[in-house]
Structure 1
Amino acid sequence: MSVLHERIGPSALYQTESGHARDDSMRTAARRAAGHAEHVDDFDMRHLRYFLTVVRAGTVSAAAQELRISQPSLSQQIKRLERRVGAPLFIRSSRGVELTAGGRAFLREIQTIPGQLRSAIAAAAPTPRVWPVGVCGGVPTEVLAEVQNGLGGEAADAAGPTGAELRMRHIGAADQPELLHHGELAFGIVRLPVTTPGLVGAVVWDEPLGVVMRPDHQLAGRPRLTWDDLATQRLLWYDEGCAPGYAETIPAQLAVLGWRAELHPVDDQQALFVHTLQTACDLVALRPRLSVQGEAQLHWRPLPTAAAPRERLAVTALAGGRAALLLAQVAARRGWTYLA
C-alpha cells in the first residue's frame, strides 16, 4: 500500500455510499501532484511573492520598500530563487529590472499560484460567522442598507442555521487594501477608482455629482450655475489619503469641463465637512444630491453640464477568496456591476 493511500485511506473522498472507490481519476491526480511536489520542497511562497513584487514594481528598491525589507536582503532572495530555477530571471540596469526570456516563461507559469492557493484555503475553511466590513467616510445610509441587505443575507445563508453578520466600521479608503490583504477585513466600501491590484469589486452606488454649499451662500439663489460662477470658489475636497484615485480623478475631469478648482482638503468625516462649509464664504463642495438630502445646513445645485462627473461607491474584496466569491454571487443577484 502506498504512503498516499495510507494517509488518505478509506475516506469518503474516494468512496461511494457502498464503500467502493468513487473516482480513480481524483486519486491519480493527487498522486501526480504529490510527485510534482517532491521536486519543489525547497521552494518558499515568499520567494514567489518577492519575484512577483519586483516584476510589478519595476525596481528592486521599490519592491523592497513595498515588502518592507531591505534592498540587499531582497536582492539576495531573488538570486537564491534564480539559483534554484537554474537561470537568470531579471536583467538589471540603472533604470531598473527587466524580465529575461526565462523570467517571462517563469512568470507565465507561476503568476496564478497565489490566487489558486488562496482559493483552496477559502474553499476548505469554514464559513465565517462575522464578516468585517470597512466603510470609508461619507457613505450614504442607503448604500449601507443595500450592502447589508445584499451581503448580509447571502452571508447568513452560507453560514447555515446559526447565521452570520456583517460588522461595519469606519476605516479610511487608504488603509482598507492592506487590511483586506491581511485578512482583517472581508470587504471594503470605497469610492472608485481603486488603484490597488489584487482586488475585485461591485458597484452599489452610481450618482452624478452636484455643488453643495451653505444655504446663505452667494451662489445659492442663482437660477443656474455657470463655470464662471464656480471659478471664484474654492473646492472643499477629499484629502488624498481619504479617497485615493477618486481625489485625483474628479478634479481632473472638472478641469476638462472648465473649472480648475483650487482645492481645500478636508477629512472625510461628515461633521467636519459640514462645519468647514459653514465657516467660509468662498467654499463649495461636490456630492451626489441623495447623499446630502435632508441636511438643512446644506444646499445642493447641479453642475452646469449634462455630463457631470459621478461618484461610484463599490464593495471590494480580495480576489480569489471566499469573500470575493460571495460578492460575485450577490452582484449577479442584485444587479451590481461586478469589476474583476
Structure 2
Amino acid sequence: MSKVQGMDLRLVTYFVAVVDHGGVTKAAKALYIAQPSLSQAIRSLERQLGTQLFDRSGRWLTLTADGRAFVDPARQILADVEAAKRRVHAVRDLLTGRLEIAVLSALSADPLPELTSALHRAHPGILVTVRDPGSSSGVLSQVRQGDAELGLTDAPVRSDLLRTQELWEHEITLVLPPHLAAALPDPVPLAAIGDIPLVLESSEAGGRAALDDVLGQAVGFVAVECAHRQAIWELVMHGAGATFLPRRIAETELRNVVVRSTSPQVRRTVRLVFRPGPLSPAATAFLNVAADMSRRRLS
C-alpha cells in the first residue's frame, strides 16, 4: 500500500464509486462509463498498488483486507485534491476578482484609501468599486440587499441579518475656523456647540447626515447643509462654520483650522459589515487586510 504517489486519480475515483454504490454495475451507471471499462480500471488500480482490492470469488464483489484498508486513504486523497482545487480557484479569483464596497462618506478619506492601497499591494488584480449610499442606513441597506458585499461605517449595527468586524475607535472632533475657536475653551463643552454655526453633510438619500444622539442634541445653529464632503471641508477652511470630523481626517486633510475635542469626548467604532455565509476571495482578502491594519493601529 506504499505506491500511492503517482497514482492515477481517476482510478481512485472509480474505486470509491464502486465502494459507495456497492458494485461495478451501479457505479458504472453513476459514472456514465461502460461496465467492462470500469472493471478494467479497477484491475489497473490493483496493478499499480500491487495488491488485490476486491475478492471476486463469489457472486458479488467484496473488499479484501487491503481493499478495506485503502478506503479511507482513497477518500482522503480525493478530499485533498478538491481542497487543492479550491485553493487554486481562490488564487485565480484574487488575480482577477472584484469587490463592491459601500462606504460612509466620512470614511472615504480615512481609512478607505489606506485599506484599498494595502489590498492592491497584496492583490493588484482585484477591481474595487466604491459605492456612496449617502448615509449609515444606506450602507447597511446596500449590504443586506447584495448591492455591495462589504460596508464600511462607524454607526452602530443593530441587525441579526448582518455580521460585523470591528476595527478601531476614532474620536469625533469639532473642527473650526480660527475666529470661531478663539473664544472657546479646550475641550469644547457640548453645551457650547449650540451657538456655533455649523456646516453639516446632507444627502438626497436621507437628509442631513446622521449624527449620533450626543452630537445631535448639541447641534443648534446650522449655517450650511452640503451633500459634498470636499465642499464641506473648503467651507470650514474658508470660515463659513465648524463641522464634526474624525481627528485623523481633520489633522491630515484640512488646513488653517483648529481641531478641538469635545467634553464629553465623542468616539465611534469603525467597522466592516457583511452578510452571513461564505464571502468572495476578494472580500475575504479585504477583511484580512483590515484586521492587519487594526492590529497595527491598536498596538
TM-score range, shorter chain: 0.5 to 0.7
Rounded to whole Å, the distance in 2 between the matches of 1:228 and 1:124 is: 53
SS at match of 1:168: strand
Pairs within 5 Å for 1:32-71: none
Distance 1:222 1:140, change over 3 A: same
Whether contact under 8 Å (2:133, 2:139) holds in the other structure is: yes
| 1:291 Cα deviation after fit | 0.9
Whether contact under 8 Å (2:118, 2:289) holds in the other structure is: yes
Identity of aligned residues (%): 14
Structure 2, unaligned stretches of length 5 or more? 1-25, 39-44, 50-69, 80-85
Which of 298, 319, 332 aligns to 2:276? It is 319
| 1:311 Cα deviation after fit | 3.4
Rounded to whole Å, the distance in 2 between the matches of 1:332 and 1:235 is: 35
The residue number in structure 2 matching 1:44 is none
The residue number in structure 2 matching 1:109 is none
Rounded to whole Å, the distance in 2 between the matches of 1:235 and 1:146 is: 29
Rounded to whole Å, the distance in 1 between the matches of 2:123 and 2:221 is: 41
The residue number in structure 2 matching 1:304 is 263
Does structure 1 residue 180 correspond to structure 2 residue 143?
Answer: yes
The residue number in structure 2 matching 1:129 is 97
Q: Deviation per CA, 1:120-150: give whole Å up to 9, x if none.
A: 9xx9997252223333213253412331244
Letter in 2 for 1:172: G
Instruction: Give the TM-score of the pair, scaled to structure 2.
Output: 0.54
Does structure 1 residue 199 correspond to structure 2 residue 137?
Answer: no
SS at match of 2:271: strand
Distance 1:165 1:227, change over 3 A: closer
The residue number in structure 2 matching 1:139 is 107
Distance 1:178 1:216, change over 3 A: same
Does structure 1 residue 286 correspond to structure 2 residue 248?
Answer: no
The residue number in structure 1 matching 2:219 is 261
Structure 1, unaligned stretches of length 5 or more? 11-15, 28-119, 157-162
**Would you identify which runs of 4 or more consecutive aligned residues in structure 1 move more than 6 Å?**
18-21, 123-126, 240-244, 278-281
Distance 1:280 1:253, change over 3 A: same
Cα RMSD between the aligned structures?
A: 4.5
Count matched residues.
Answer: 220
Rounded to whole Å, the distance in 1 between the matches of 2:158 and 2:197 is: 27
Distance 1:167 1:227, change over 3 A: closer
Rounded to whole Å, the distance in 2 between the matches of 1:177 and 1:299 is: 33
Q: Deviation per CA, 1:268-292: give whole Å up to 9, x if none.
A: 52233235547887x5322122212
Letter in 2 for 1:211: L
